[in-house]
Amino acid sequence: MIERRLLPVARAALQGFPALAITGPRQSGKTTLAKQLGGTKPYASLEDPDTRQFAESDPRGFLGQFQDGAVLDEVQRCPSIFSYLQGVLDSDRRMGRFILTGSKQFGLVEAITQSLAGRVAMLNLLPFSLPELQAADRAPKDLDSLLANGLFPPLYDRAVDPASWIKSYVSTYLERDVRHSLKVQDLASFQRFLQLCAGRVGQLVNLSSLAADAGISRPTAEAWLSVLQASFLVFQVRPHFGNLSKRIIKTPKLYFCDPGLASWLVGIREPGHVMAHPLRGGLFENWVISELIKELANRGDVSSVYFWRDKDGHEVDAVVERGTTWHGIEIKAGKTVATDFFEGLDFWRSQSPKADLRPWLVYGGDVAQTRERGGVVPWTGIRQLLDAL
């Protein structure tokens, strides 16, 4: 079993809360981690129709089976159970009794906020990070394989063709679950919308343009994007303000939870398709940003990843605040470091009033470097950057 970096944080949470909720996209490893944390606790999946019917029709009887707690999988499938779970947790304040998982953020977060506030710790589990796979000696052999196949756990714990698995994932979870949540009747329009989103990774979100290209209304595009976010399939990175110029652009950027998912949606079916693809740079940026977000999530950290860009086009791909330190990160897919790679970082440093700035360059090459203009990190050595955050 490949050990997840979230494991010690999750174990600590179980020591201080009656319950733990693990959220994240489908197939990110939530069930495996929950069972590992639960040990000998009984397991019940609310995806199972019979189990869900029992929980919905007799929630007290259902929860009464688990006097010492349980692992309840995909618990957002039975929203009515949360108010009853509140009573169970309040009647017995032992820590770490229940472990819940969910893959739809809006249902789970709303239910916990309303019924279980203060009783449940919440953590996010995303697909494997590169350091997790490197620690298990299971990492992709080259950058194009990483970008084409992605980092979903099933691709690394069984013999399966990545393109076939992702195709199934798209048809099963995106085109079934997400469409069901949205009550989408027109599959073709939804598929086109997904492909257009994937083609815009690393770009500023323009809902009007996205809607026009997909042949849908702007409110529909906004609603579809919102549900994709709530399902942890895409995320938006907000601009960093701080005390910088008022010219900062306020529009967020769009990314997918996994580069392999975005790659498949834009037509990439094998690593050999990546090298000459026009979106290679965007997919590489998507992967680096996702690694930053995974690292913070694996620490149980509420910090966010931002980007910085002004109206004149000066830009830094990622900014992460750690206390009084700001890490600025430029992301380039090229295998050779060029001097102009640092121009955005140089300008950012000149415009920032803060003294404690840490510039970084993550690139598609193989050699780490220490330069006056910033630390240079190869894609295989991204752990160096993550550890510095």
Domain boundaries defined on the chain: 7-124, 129-389
Q: Give yes or no for residue 190 having a pLDDT over 60.
A: yes
Pairing mode, strands 374-378 and 369-371: antiparallel
CA distances to 34, 95, 170, 214, 227 from 177, rounded to whole Å, are: 22, 33, 10, 20, 10
- CA 380, 256, 153, 121 torsion-angle sign: positive
CA distances to 103, 340, 358 from 21, rounded to whole Å, are: 11, 45, 34
Stretch 79-94: mean pLDDT:
93
Across all residues in the chain, what is the average pLDDT?
92
- Confidence at residue 195, expressed as pLDDT on a 0 to 100 scale: 96
Query: What is the C-alpha to C-alpha distance for residues 340 and 328, in angstroms, rounded to an integer?
Result: 16
Cβ 365 vs Cβ 337: under 8 Å: yes
Count Cβ atoms within 10 A of the Cβ of residue 223 and give its class: 0-12 exposed, 13-18 middle, 19 or more buried. Answer: middle
- CA 57, 109, 16, 43 torsion-angle sign: positive
Closest CA to 379 of 317, 291, 297: 291
Stretch 147-152: mean pLDDT:
98
Say which DSSP state 305 is in. E
Stretch 64-79: mean pLDDT:
94
CA distances to 43, 56, 80, 383 from 90, rounded to whole Å, are: 21, 20, 17, 41
The residue to which tokens 């350091």 are assigned: 131
Exposure letters 121-130 (e unless 16+ CB within 10 A, then b): bbbbbbbbbb
Question: In this structure, what token pair is assigned to residue 236?
Answer: 């938006």
Query: What is the C-alpha to C-alpha distance for residues 369 and 382, in angstroms, rounded to an integer?
Result: 12
Is residue 207 very low, low, confident or very high in pLDDT (cuts 50, 70, 90)? very high
Say which DSSP state 3 is in. P
Closest CA to 319 of 350, 356, 290, 358: 358
Percent of the chain with pLDDT strictly greater than 70: 97
The residue to which tokens 């330069």 are assigned: 371
Stretch 190-213: mean pLDDT:
95
Say which DSSP state 4 is in. P
Is residue 101 very low, low, confident or very high in pLDDT (cuts 50, 70, 90)? very high
pTM, whole model, 2 decimals? Answer: 0.94
Is residue 146 very low, low, confident or very high in pLDDT (cuts 50, 70, 90)? very high
Q: Give yes or no for residue 247 having a pLDDT over 60.
A: no
Query: What is the C-alpha to C-alpha distance for residues 244 and 348, in angstroms, rounded to an integer?
Result: 9
Phi, psi of 69 (to 5 degrees): 100, 175
Domain 7-124, CATH: 3.40.50.300
45-50: long-range contacts, CB 8 A cutoff, minimum separation 24: 45/73, 45/74, 46/72, 46/73, 46/74, 46/75, 46/76, 46/77, 46/78, 46/81, 47/73, 47/74, 47/77
Closest CA to 272 of 150, 383, 145: 145
Cβ 297 vs Cβ 123: under 8 Å: yes
Collapsed DSSP state (helix, strand, coil) of residue 60? helix
Q: Give yes or no for residue 243 having a pLDDT over 60.
A: no
Cβ 147 vs Cβ 283: under 8 Å: yes
Q: Give yes or no for residue 117 having a pLDDT over 70.
A: yes
Query: What is the C-alpha to C-alpha distance for residues 224 and 218, in angstroms, rounded to an integer?
Result: 10
The residue to which tokens 């110029």 are assigned: 245
Q: Give yes or no for residue 242 having a pLDDT over 70.
A: no
DSSP string, 172-186: IIIIIIIHHHHT---
Count Cβ atoms within 10 A of the Cβ of residue 66 and give its class: 0-12 exposed, 13-18 middle, 19 or more buried. Answer: middle
